[in-house]
Structure 1
Amino acid sequence: MRVLITGGSGFIGQALTQALLGRGDQVVILSRRPDGIPIRSGQECVASLNQIKGQVHAVVNLAGAPIVDRRWSDARKQLLRDSRIKTTRELVSWIARQEKPPAVLVSGSAIGYYGSHQDEVLDETGDIAPGFPHELCRDWEQEALEAVSQGVRVCLIRTGVVLGKGGGALAKMLPAFRLGLGGPISDGQQWMSWVHMDDEIGAILYLLDNPSLQGPFNLTAPEPVSNEVFTQTLAGVLGRPAFMRVPGFMMQLLLGEASELLVEGQRVVPANLNTAGYQFKYKSLEPALKACLR
């Protein structure tokens, strides 16, 4: 199978590329800086969709600027929208021009689709809380679903906090936690819906390989935890204390509206993946963290 990956140079994209190549697939990576990506056997890199020659059998759309690394000014919000929605629109337009369209599009989204909630358990039919995160994910998904009219099977992956080696949220947390300076954010009662990188990639491959699957899929582990439990578990795995609580107002001062993603949360469960028969490698947090840190 020849798979096109947008955002292939990112944290998830690199792991997905390695997994696809490892099982004998061919990979085409769309990147703004293709010269900076190491070339491996079975892999090619392009800077434009128009540079792709030959048939593509599947597409995984992971493009999108980081969402919580700075305040959401109007300009930043527009960048977040363009990097997701505009990119997806261009991708779907490219699909429509293909003589033989890819069979499947697995398109990125996030659990921000549901907005902020307290204790409500959210499956793929869960309630929506209005706000920028929901609007961003909703419009992103709607652009991807336009590919259905081209006869393409579309799967929407609403991803939580991805835990893996060498990047992502965990890499940002580790320096403070290793110094014994980690701790909960605000009251620590907000829910964290996480997923180990092995399951992030495993689920994407599962969706690519099973032609009966389509629609939204929460890509989170079956056992979400509170921020308090997450920090205590991470500290325990590292053998460090975790008492340096970060006040919510401090996150508000640093990140403004974007602090919602850290101070509030969602208790998300992967109902559709469970129904589809996907078997999670890491259901519980402690084994997942140990696997990331060993």
Structure 2
Amino acid sequence: MKYRKIVLAGGNGYLGRVFANYYKHLAEEVIILSRKEKKDTDTIKTIVWDGCNEGEWVKSLDGADLLVNLCGKNVNSRYTKENQAEIISSRIIPTTLLGNVIGKLQDPPKLWINITSATIYRHAEDRAQDEETGEIGYGFSIDVCRKWENSFFDTNTPLTRKIALRMGIVLGRSDGAFPRLLNLVKFGMGGKQGDGQQYVSWVHEQDAARCTEWLIQHEELQGVINCTAPEAVKNTDLMTEIRKAWGIPFGLPAPAWLLEIGAAMIGTETELILKSRWVYPKRLLDTGYSFLFTKSAHAIKDILSIRL
């Protein structure tokens, strides 16, 4: 099926590039809304916006099959008051703006997907958290997710179906979490982090993109949907799999106290490493979505096989 138009708001980051490359042969036009100008290609066009105000970019939403909102400051930072305010505003302001604009369009996007985070669920080592029985956690990162999703669902867009896609950790070769984990392995520091028993809910970048097309096609789906592989993996097992795939038998572990020091030095929070995210994609599976990668070991081997 050939789509008319795919719009990616804030699509200049890693995941935006994954989506743009996925759709560039499936759509007549892929449009990225970005704060920076970028050279257009045959099928990918960049339109400048500031994420705060209406402008010429509004016309790009007319008749779109899909709008994906990827806006938001990277949470990989220290949670100072200044950073906290920027993390929240960089999500809520563009989301509210898009909602207000879409609500006024005669021919708005058929589907609007807001990429939110699977970290909204509580620390879970006892059972998987799905969309129906999952329990919301507490703390700053969860507060961000709550406010973000509220701003998304509170906008009135009667002609546009809306999905908050709670994304797990996206695994790919070019950017994101995987290259950083691989670097730890390469330098002999690829052991478990903390006690290693925390779950990592992950998704291969190709499944992250492919499931958005599934959501276009399944018009009965709306609301909250988890986007994670069905089989979460413990941190200690994930690091073992990466070491094995790279051919390094041993990696120094990093106890929690050492992570606290390291996190402060590099400007991040240990929560991003030590929280157990055990999330299950019940709604995707219930509608028949078949993941390309269900086992992290297979995803890792695939990623390492890619020549960049």
Distance 1:182 1:266 in 2: 20
- Segments of structure 2 that go 5 or more residues without pairing to the other structure are none
Question: Is 1:206 the equivalent of 2:211?
Answer: no
Do 1:13 and 1:62's aligned partners in 2 also have CA atoms closer than 8 Å?
yes
Write out aligned runs for 1:118-267 (5 A). 118-125=125-132, 126-255=134-263, 258-267=269-278
- Structure 1 counterpart of 2:33: 30
| Alpha-carbon offset, residue 292 of structure 1 | 0.4
Do 2:99 and 2:156's aligned partners in 1 also have CA atoms closer than 8 Å?
no
AA at the equivalent of 1:252: E
Question: 288, 296, 300: which one pairs with 1:285?
Answer: 296
- Structure 2 counterpart of 1:103: 110
Distance 2:174 2:10 in 1: 17
Do 2:32 and 2:44's aligned partners in 1 also have CA atoms closer than 8 Å?
yes
Distance 1:90 1:242 in 2: 49
SS of the counterpart of 2:260?
helix
- Structure 2 counterpart of 1:47: 48
| Alpha-carbon offset, residue 114 of structure 1 | 0.8
Distance 1:203 1:38 in 2: 28
SS of the counterpart of 1:187?
coil
The sequence identity of aligned pairs, in percent, is 28
Do 2:185 and 2:251's aligned partners in 1 also have CA atoms closer than 8 Å?
no
Distance 2:202 2:42 in 1: 32
- Segments of structure 1 that go 5 or more residues without pairing to the other structure are none
Q: How many residues align?
A: 291
Question: 80, 89, 100: which one pairs with 1:82?
Answer: 89
Residues 221, 269 of structure 1: CA spacing in aligned structure 2 closer, same or farther, 3 A cutoff? same
AA at the equivalent of 2:20: T
- Structure 1 counterpart of 2:17: 14
Deviates more, 1:124-133 or 1:191-200: 124-133
Question: Normalising by structure 1, what TM-score?
Answer: 0.94
AA at the equivalent of 1:43: I
- Structure 2 counterpart of 1:59: 67
Deviates more, 1:124-133 or 1:140-149: 140-149
Question: Is 1:4 the equivalent of 2:7?
Answer: yes
Distance 2:139 2:125 in 1: 15
Do 1:147 and 1:154's aligned partners in 2 also have CA atoms closer than 8 Å?
no
Distance 1:200 1:14 in 2: 12
Deviates more, 1:48-57 or 1:215-224: 48-57
Question: Normalising by structure 2, what TM-score?
Answer: 0.90
| Alpha-carbon offset, residue 243 of structure 1 | 2.9
AA at the equivalent of 1:208: I
Deviates more, 1:147-156 or 1:250-259: 250-259
Question: Is 1:71 the equivalent of 2:78?
Answer: yes
Do 1:106 and 1:208's aligned partners in 2 also have CA atoms closer than 8 Å?
no
| Alpha-carbon offset, residue 250 of structure 1 | 2.4
Deviates more, 1:209-218 or 1:274-283: 209-218
SS of the counterpart of 1:258?
coil
Residues 242, 141 of structure 1: CA spacing in aligned structure 2 closer, same or farther, 3 A cutoff? farther
AA at the equivalent of 2:219: P
Do 1:182 and 1:241's aligned partners in 2 also have CA atoms closer than 8 Å?
no
Question: Is 1:93 the equivalent of 2:100?
Answer: yes
Q: Name the structure where helix makes up a greater proportion of residues.
A: 1
| Alpha-carbon offset, residue 276 of structure 1 | 1.6
SS of the counterpart of 1:63?
coil
Residues 246, 27 of structure 1: CA spacing in aligned structure 2 closer, same or farther, 3 A cutoff? same
Distance 2:63 2:44 in 1: 13
Distance 2:97 2:149 in 1: 14
